[in-house]
A and B are shown apart, each in its own frame.
Chain A
Amino acid sequence: MVNDSGPPAQHVQRHVEDLSRLPDILSLQIRRRHFDRPRRVTLKGMDHVISDAIEFEVKVTEAFPVRALGPALWVGNEALTSADAEGLTYHFFAFEPDKLKPNAPISLGWSSASERRRQTPYRFTMPGDK
């Protein structure tokens, strides 16, 4: 009689790469943004069509790594996770501007409060406010 052979070879070598690293910020501009073609925004599974937002244009030193979590701009404890990316320029949008607190510190991070954040020298001011 013959037995089965052993189990398959095990994966032994690990390729390690930290995909949570963050770029440095080069500049930040905050402005009001009107979408000529209204934008679909989904909140808790419900779609909303929105024409106006606060836009944060952020220039960074390198692109955010591509991973499960998305890039986020944190305004205080409010994460802006909706963004357009053009090369090293990211446009983050706040569709519920009332949630943003004046003078809140702005940091770069990920769409999880548990992930690391990189503080920037910027603070939030509502466009048009002085």
Chain B
Amino acid sequence: MEIPRDRARIKDDPNVISPPIITQPYGCAKSVNVTGYIPNATLDLEVDGVVVVNNFPGNSPTPWGALIPLPVPLKVNQVPPQKVRARQHFGGATSNWTDFVAVRDHTVDFPAGLPRPELFPLPLNKCGIRTGVGNLIVGCDVEILVEDNPDGSVQGANNPQGVNLNTPYLDGQHVRARATLCGDPSPLAAEQVVQVAPLPLATPTFAPFIQGGTDLVVQGLADGAHFEVKRNGISLGTTGCWGGTFTWHGINPPFNPPTDVFEAAQQLCPGDPWSPPGKGVPSPCSSLKSPKFGPVQDGDIAVTFTDFVPGSEIKVFVNGSKQGDGSGPVIWLNHPIPHNATIDAWQSVGNCVGSTVEEVKSMCVAPPVSGDPSALDLFPVGTHEYNGPSTVSFDGFTYHVHGSIFYPAEDDGADQPFNKRLAKQGRVPLIVLVHGRHGGAPDSYKGYTYFQTQLACMGFVAASVDESETDGGSDGSDFTGNIVRRAELAIETIKFLQTLDAGDPIFKGTMDFSRIGLMGHSRGGDCVLAVVERINVPGAKILAVISLAPVDSGAHSGHPKGVAFMTILPAGDGDVVDNDGAKFYDQADPAPFKTQLYVDQANHNYFNRSWLNDDSLGKVALMSRFDHERILSTYGCAFFRNAVRGDATFGYLDHSILPSGVLNQNIHLSCEVAHSRIVDNYEGHPITNDNEGQMTAQNGILAQEFLFSQSAGAFNPSFFGNTTGNVLQPRETTGSFREPLKAVTDLSKAEVRVRAAEVYQAPTIPPNPTGFRVGLEDTQGTIAWADVDDVGGLSRPFDRHALDIAKSETDLVKTMLSTYRFPGHCFVDPNRKFRVSKVAAIHLGLNRGDQRPIAFDDLEIVKV
């Protein structure tokens, strides 16, 4: 919430400034990247206790921070590794040093070689004089190759890094890039062909800029163009850029409305007409808004800003006391954020000081948005269209063994050699994708190329099985039998891939069949679970299964076991309207975990690029196709990386971290891990007992067990899972359901997790949310409460009435449970009597006074 600065009880202390942030350094790096400092601060850099750079001029920290050249490259393989830290000086104050950051060996983090550089933005234009290169390790060397010849380079590069060209691009040239660290070359960037930009070039524009500022952001620039900026008709100079936007730093004197007028025009080839000039004027200082926070949760040692003025200084106050001073998007704090703190942020640009501050309360659980698990870009991608040597037959139906394989290769393109350096590290895991049945889409197996590409980029072999021959006629009309045959075709494909691994010129010795992941969509989502139960192929072991919008045909037991399991359920599914995967999640064993994503504003088809129609009939609010794909990409990659390869991506699967670039607000996640302590799952005993054999108690509520399924024993028809749960109905304004623990428990380093949902009661969804709270009762009888609103809030039912009316006039709005995490530190007793180390009982409490029932299941304790 933005409030006037004088209403926030904050006090500036110029002596408190943040330590900056160091990007992970690697051995042999010739430079170090530092971010998060105050604009125009000076920076010190220390290596192994020696200040190697003193008072480095930081200038503007946006957008990519300071790149500090080192007098001597960082050492590799030193034992113990070198340690680097930094600090900033500003206005007579000196920050604390950052924590020590150990120098890492890139061959440990990237044993098959450096990440693959990425040229951007695209396309590259004729006459371009500068090109951007991303996906680099800071401090590496990077060079641009035109027709295989060097045409520009940077030693000790930033990430990303602009590279000026020795010779401007010519039409049709082939351009690549290569990074090198410790003499170790990366794979070449994907080849780009220089194009002729259509004329006239677009008129550049300016991002809003503020009185008193000195950084001017010019937008709409063609890739590789040069452009001129004028101030009040006087040229400030001409510069080249790699395109997109360009931040012109250090304009002096600072912006001064209303008389200041800036113009920018761009040109690519000499002799071409210049673009029309874009004009911009600075806004008055009074228009400077407060910066906007990302999620802020208890214990955070840094805060992230999602919206701020480039080049601004941001001061951060915690409970009125200044704890940070730096620049966005991430500012380090001097102390962790305490429980239930008030956080204020105050922004200034040059000599313009904001008149408002942004004020938020820290939440007990507000996961940070950090990283993209689908963006691990290490290898070129080869593609291979496979055809088995013979057909296979099941139940009298005959199929070709056909599909596509995407794999880490020496270079991009069809049938390229497998990546030799990766192959030397050993066989790589295999992911097999199985599409569903969709009319008029003979190329359904090509619909996941985006996902296959991402998996191959990070080192998986990703095969997509062409099951289109199963779709039609008697085969497709035979529901369960069809899905069994789909599974058998997928198994035959795995057998065929084994033959490729045994002797194919590309794939010999490359695939690890003891680490297989499966992803199936629609009928394919049901089929992959049948594969798990039917496969009997020597050497083949399935470790993980994604079931995306699956049907439930009875082709398998309905009880996934022995695999990590994920299901993705589109809330606006207009084909598999029952979200059948919820049943599979409920019945799955967490081996070692299971997770469910119930996704608002998603339909059935938009995860497959070959499936063009909107099955939600245009009747529900819907994400773009791109946003559908982002969900499968990020969560799917996090899932397979963790479950099949052991990468540290599990945080995305229990929502202790959120992936960036995803509409996470639409995702309602359930998660259960093996070996959690199940306090009550409401199975196999009456409501009067919990799983630990303790007597439960009800106070001010009515607790009853119901089937959470489409059956006669359900609380109402809005439950589509396959489990039993507990519905609490209020009898008084406040009440609780008490579940004693068998033994006194220390929850200081543990979480209470419970699945819960607002019960949908037809025909309408109330306009306002409801909620619940969890209480911990210690051995003295003191209860400390934590509210669901403090851990993210109780999800609302997804409104699909319009779709249901259009399709079948059956109300299919669902009560779909999500998992809520309540860390032990959330439970605070205002009288300070509560002892989290001696918990004797857990309470599920209703206190909204709105008479709305809440559904619960899987009350657990998980160590963290």
Name A's B-contacting residues (CB within 8 A).
Answer: 1-8, 10-12, 14-20, 37, 39-45, 47, 64-72, 81-86, 90, 111-116
CB contacts (< 8 Å) of B132 on chain A: these are 2
Give the interface centre of A5, A17, A64, A83 by most chain B CB atoms within 10 Å: A5
CB contacts (< 8 Å) of B245 on chain A: these are 2-3, 5
B554 pairs with A2, CB closer than 8 A = no
A69→B522 CA distance, assembly (Å): 9
Partner pick for B551 among A10, A14, A19, A68, CB 8 A cutoff: A68
A1 pairs with B614, CB closer than 8 A = no
A14 pairs with B812, CB closer than 8 A = no
Min Cβ gap B379→A in Å is: 22
A44→B587 CA distance, assembly (Å): 13
A25→B624 CA distance, assembly (Å): 38
Asked whether any CB of chain A lies closer than 8 Å to the CB of B615, the reply is: yes
A16→B617 CA distance, assembly (Å): 5
B395 pairs with A40, CB closer than 8 A = yes
CB contacts (< 8 Å) of B549 on chain A: these are 68
A113→B556 CA distance, assembly (Å): 19
Q: What are 17 A-B residue pairs whose CB atoms fall within 8 Å in the complex?
A: A2-B244, A11-B624, A11-B625, A15-B613, A19-B575, A41-B480, A43-B554, A45-B556, A64-B477, A66-B472, A68-B575, A69-B575, A70-B477, A83-B474, A85-B473, A112-B577, A114-B577
B478 pairs with A82, CB closer than 8 A = yes
CB contacts (< 8 Å) of A82 on chain B: these are 478-481
Asked whether any CB of chain A lies closer than 8 Å to the CB of B440, the reply is: yes
Please name the residue on chain A nearest to B310 by beta carbon: A3
Contact A16-B808, Cβ < 8 Å, known A10-B626, A68-B437, A69-B551:
no
Please name the residue on chain A nearest to B217 by beta carbon: A3
Instruction: Report, as a range, how many residues of chain B touch the other chain.
Output: 35 or more
Min Cβ gap A107→B in Å is: 13
Kindly list the 10 A-B residue pairs having the minimum CB-CB distance in the complex, ordered from nearest. Answer: A66-B439, A70-B479, A5-B244, A116-B808, A81-B479, A11-B625, A84-B474, A45-B557, A45-B556, A14-B614
A122→B245 CA distance, assembly (Å): 69
A18→B521 CA distance, assembly (Å): 19
Min Cβ gap A53→B in Å is: 12
Min Cβ gap A88→B in Å is: 12
Contact A1-B243, Cβ < 8 Å, known A43-B554, A65-B439, A85-B474:
no
CB contacts (< 8 Å) of A70 on chain B: these are 476-479, 482, 553
Partner pick for B558 among A42, A45, A47, A64, CB 8 A cutoff: A45
Partner pick for A4 among B121, B241, B474, B577, CB 8 A cutoff: B121
Partner pick for A45 among B63, B246, B555, B577, CB 8 A cutoff: B555
Asked whether any CB of chain A lies closer than 8 Å to the CB of B710, the reply is: yes
CB contacts (< 8 Å) of B242 on chain A: these are 2
CB contacts (< 8 Å) of A113 on chain B: these are 710
Asked whether any CB of chain A lies closer than 8 Å to the CB of B162, the reply is: yes
Min Cβ gap A96→B in Å is: 12
CB contacts (< 8 Å) of B674 on chain A: these are none
CB contacts (< 8 Å) of A11 on chain B: these are 606, 624-626
Contact A111-B479, Cβ < 8 Å, known A1-B62, A11-B625, A65-B439:
yes
Please name the residue on chain A nearest to B473 by beta carbon: A85
A47→B481 CA distance, assembly (Å): 10
Partner pick for B63 among A3, A17, A19, A72, CB 8 A cutoff: A3
Partner pick for A66 among B440, B606, B807, CB 8 A cutoff: B440
C-beta contact mask, B558-575 vs A, less than 8 Å → 1, else 0?
A: 100000000000000011
A1 pairs with B63, CB closer than 8 A = yes
A43→B556 CA distance, assembly (Å): 8
Contact A68-B624, Cβ < 8 Å, known A40-B395, A44-B558:
no
A21→B612 CA distance, assembly (Å): 18
Contact A2-B246, Cβ < 8 Å, known A15-B614, A69-B576:
yes
CB contacts (< 8 Å) of A44 on chain B: these are 554, 556-558
A84→B395 CA distance, assembly (Å): 12
CB contacts (< 8 Å) of A67 on chain B: these are 437-439, 575
Asked whether any CB of chain A lies closer than 8 Å to the CB of B110, the reply is: no
A45 pairs with B533, CB closer than 8 A = yes
CB contacts (< 8 Å) of A8 on chain B: these are 626
Asked whether any CB of chain A lies closer than 8 Å to the CB of B809, the reply is: yes
CB contacts (< 8 Å) of B809 on chain A: these are 116
A15 pairs with B438, CB closer than 8 A = no
Taking CB atoms and an 8 Å cut-off, the chain B residues in 692-739 that contact chain A are 710
CB contacts (< 8 Å) of B618 on chain A: these are 14, 16
